[in-house]
Amino acid sequence: MKIYDGLVFHQNKNNMFRTIYLLLLIQCFGSFHATAAENDMLRYAFVVGNQNYQQAPLKHSINDAIAISDELIELGFQVTTVTDTDLATLRKQMKSFYSQITASAESDTLALFYYAGHAIQINQTNYLVPLNVDVKDQQSFFSSLFDISELFSEMRTKQNIQNIVILDACRNNPFGNNLVEATSNGLAPVKAPPQTMIAFATEPGGVASDGGKKNGVYTKHLVRNISENITVEELFKKVRAGVSRETRNKQIPWEHSSLLKEIYFNPPKNKDIPDIVVF
Per-residue model confidence as pLDDT tens digits over 83-124: 999 999 999 999 999 998 887 767 889 999 999 999 988 888
> 244 with 254: CB under 8 angstroms?
no
Which amino acid is it at 161?
I
pLDDT of residue 170: 65
Beta partners for residue 163, in sequence order: 111, 196
User: Biggest alpha carbon distance in the chain?
Assistant: 91
pLDDT of residue 41: 83
Q: Which of 139, 134, 46 is nearest to 86 (CA)?
A: 134
Which amino acid is it at 77?
F
- Which residues of the chain carry a pLDDT beneath 70? 1-40, 105, 170-172, 176-186, 205-206, 208-212, 270-279
pLDDT of residue 274: 45
Instruction: Output the DSSP codes for 256-272.
Output: EE---S--BSSPPTTTT
> 170 with 158: CB under 8 angstroms?
no
- With a CB cutoff of 8 Å and minimum separation 6, the contacts of 138 are 179, 180
Distance in angstroms (rounded) separating the CA atoms of residues 264 and 241: 19
pLDDT of residue 32: 41
pLDDT of residue 273: 46
> 71 with 215: CB under 8 angstroms?
no
Burial of 244 (0-12, 13-18, 19+ CB in 10 A): middle
pLDDT of residue 279: 33
**Strands lying side by side in the sheet with 78-83:** 78-83, 42-49, 109-116, 161-168, 196-200, 254-257
- With a CB cutoff of 8 Å and minimum separation 6, the contacts of 27 are none
Q: What is the mean pLDDT of the chain?
A: 81
pLDDT of residue 181: 57
